[in-house]
Structure 1
Amino acid sequence: MCPSLFVFLTEGQEVKVGEYNAIADVLDLINNTMRFQGVEPPKDRTFVRLQRRNINVPLYSILLIKMSSPYMNNLIILGGMLSYSSIFLFGLDGALVSDKEFEALCTVRTWILIVGYTTAFGAMFAKTWRVHAIFKNVKMKKKEGVGELSERVGELSERVGELSEGVGELSEGVGELSEGVGELSEGVGELSEGVGELSERVVELSEGVGELSEGVGEL
């Protein structure tokens, strides 16, 4: 029988690391050629570690689970478990128990069904009411915001009205000023005409003085 070879695939090449002789039951390993990743050789079996995991309770900090009302979810699960457990009590054969125990069993299974139903559907209705209350508050806040916005728009419109009145008064003042400027320009025109007449009279007077001086020269 040929011996069995043990090889490692290192850098794309097969490297002999040991040899096993089944006849002599001898295993020869070449420790210098054996290379493992890490500080120790890998495990030769799969270790199964049992761990208990809670699904709902430790995850309350997650936003989606917190928004889904986890306590109400627990109550719904509890109510469902009680309701389903009552099925076994209703299906129990009365011949297996005494009459007194059967009377107590009838009461117990009825109460278990009622409590389970009330717990499950009560929690479900509470979740529905919570969602309704949240959306109702959002609508109320929106209405309050719209009311405040309308008030601000009203105040802004009043300020715009006051501003328009001020602009109207300013335009009236500008009109009066333009009228005053027109009257002033008319007065300046009349004054210029008077100055022109005065200059003409001065010219005539100078001509008369010239004629008078000529007459005096002839004398």
Structure 2
Amino acid sequence: MPESVPVRCPACRRSHRYTAPSYPCACGAPVAPPLDLDGVPSPAGHRAWDEEWVTVRCEHCGLRGEWPRPELGCPCGTVLLIPVTGPRASVPAERPEHPAARSAPVRTARDAVTAAVRYLRRLGHEDVHRADRRSPSGIGLVGRGVLAQVDPSARPATARDVECLWLAAMTESAACLYFSVGGYDEETQVRADALGVPLFLLDLTGTPRPANGPADTLDADGA
């Protein structure tokens, strides 16, 4: 079972209960970051790409992977960083790559984000970076005129996930894309088609593959 800890926001003093999210290891076992039960959450300040990850060891196979650092978004607007035990991963910052760069296998959440960033850069969005605000599910990416959601979990993305992304993009007057490792059910694809949201499946080779009509169109135009 994933760990959970009580969290009090230092800004508004609201009490929360935070449960660590689980991510699929390459062996298929669920992995959750070990929370520091004695640690004190702190408000997020300046966001740096190489500080957004923690190293977690899979208890089933022993493989060490890099996963998004746990955080909690309080309704007051404060983003709280949840302390974890163990070393923090050191992840080099992404550098712009040639559009024809080869893909890399997706084994961790970082791999999924990297694959999505590479694809967005292929479309011409060189300024893509992680969003400051925590997304309802997965990891948010933002660039000039574009929002993207990357869901590295094994569960299929839901219609609500797509709707939340679409609403955020409408607010920002931006285009949006959804990348998922777990895929999409028929209801989600139908809803995304109606909203015009391109859906991409991140397969194990690290190649984003179109999963609906808008994605087919975008992929053909951007290739």
TM-score normalised per structure 1: 0.17
Relative contact order higher in (CA < 8 Å, ≥ 6 apart): 2
TM-score normalised per structure 2: 0.16
Larger Rg: 1
